[in-house]
Amino acid sequence: MSVIVGQPAPDFSLDAVTNGQFKKINLSDYRGKWLVVFFYPLDFTFVCPTEILAFSDRIEEFHQINADVVGVSVDSKYTHLAWTEKPRDGGGIQGLKYPLISDLHKSMSVDYGVLCEGGVALRGLFIVDPDGVVQHATINNLGVGRSVDETLRVLRAFQFVAEHGEVCPANWQPGQDSMKPEWEGSREWFSKHGKA
């Protein structure tokens, strides 16, 4: 797997389902915004709807900070559509508030380095900045879902870094002290927070 953090996000132009309609989705559609791209293994499975709906239920928090979310799997757009029409209490994702991209030919999964030997995507999550550069990547194995809280925390931290030019220490949250990215400047942070 090649490292794509710090590199231009691999381009894509693929069919998706959004608001019950088929639509072509391109990376360039999100230029000027932050984008969370997350891959999941398959529609009509177990952990996947919990993640997909967790992001959907909090989509406004992403929109409030100039960010969008897209989900991606190797299923067809028709399977995506059928799943978005199935009620939540039956394992469906009815009411989904962001696009699901169909990576039927697996090219996007390969480009982002998440295609596993079983032919499905691992649980990869990528944060792409408004200039189209990948700032963050995590990849989980199939059995464990991701955290919306942590995704928002990391996204806000990268937005802070981009705006202020300072860096964010471990577990940083908005409103907390950041660090100057050089030795002398960082001493201020360590003098306040470095005590055991």
| Percent of the residues in the chain that have a pLDDT greater than 90, as a whole number | 88
Q: Is residue 40 part of a domain?
A: yes
106 lies in some domain: yes
Decide if 161 is inside a domain.
Answer: no
In a domain, 18, yes or no: yes
- Compute the average pLDDT of residues 95-112: 98
- Domain around 56: 13-145
Report how far apart, in Å, the C-alpha atoms of 30 and of each of 19, 52, 130, 165, 172 are. Answer: 17, 20, 7, 23, 26
The structural domain count of the chain equals: 1
Residue 196 has pLDDT above 90, yes or no: no
User: Would you say residue 4 lies in a domain?
Assistant: no
Sheet with 123-128: list strands edge to edge: 21-26, 13-18, 100-102, 67-73, 34-39, 123-128, 134-140
CB under 8 Å to 140, separation ≥6 — which residues?
A: 122, 123, 124, 146
Confidence band for 193, pLDDT divided at 50, 70 and 90: confident
pLDDT at 2 over 70: no
Whether 47 is in a domain gets the answer yes
**Is residue 67 a contact partner of residue 36, using CB atoms and an 8 Å limit?**
yes
24 inside domain: yes
CATH number at residue 63: 3.40.30.10
Identify whether 28 is part of a domain: yes
Q: Decide if 116 is catalytic.
A: no
Say what the pTM is. 0.94
* pLDDT score of 122 more than 60: yes
The active-site residue, picked from 9, 35, 48, 100, is 48
- What is the pLDDT at residue 183? 86
From 7-21, 134-148, 169-183, the region with the lowest mean pLDDT: 169-183
The pLDDT tens digits for 11-68 are 999 999 999 999 999 999 999 999 999 999 999 999 999 999 999 999 999 999 999 9
Query: Which helix or strand (DSSP H or E) is residue 25 part of?
Result: strand 21-26
Question: Considering the chain, what is the average pLDDT of its residues?
Answer: 95
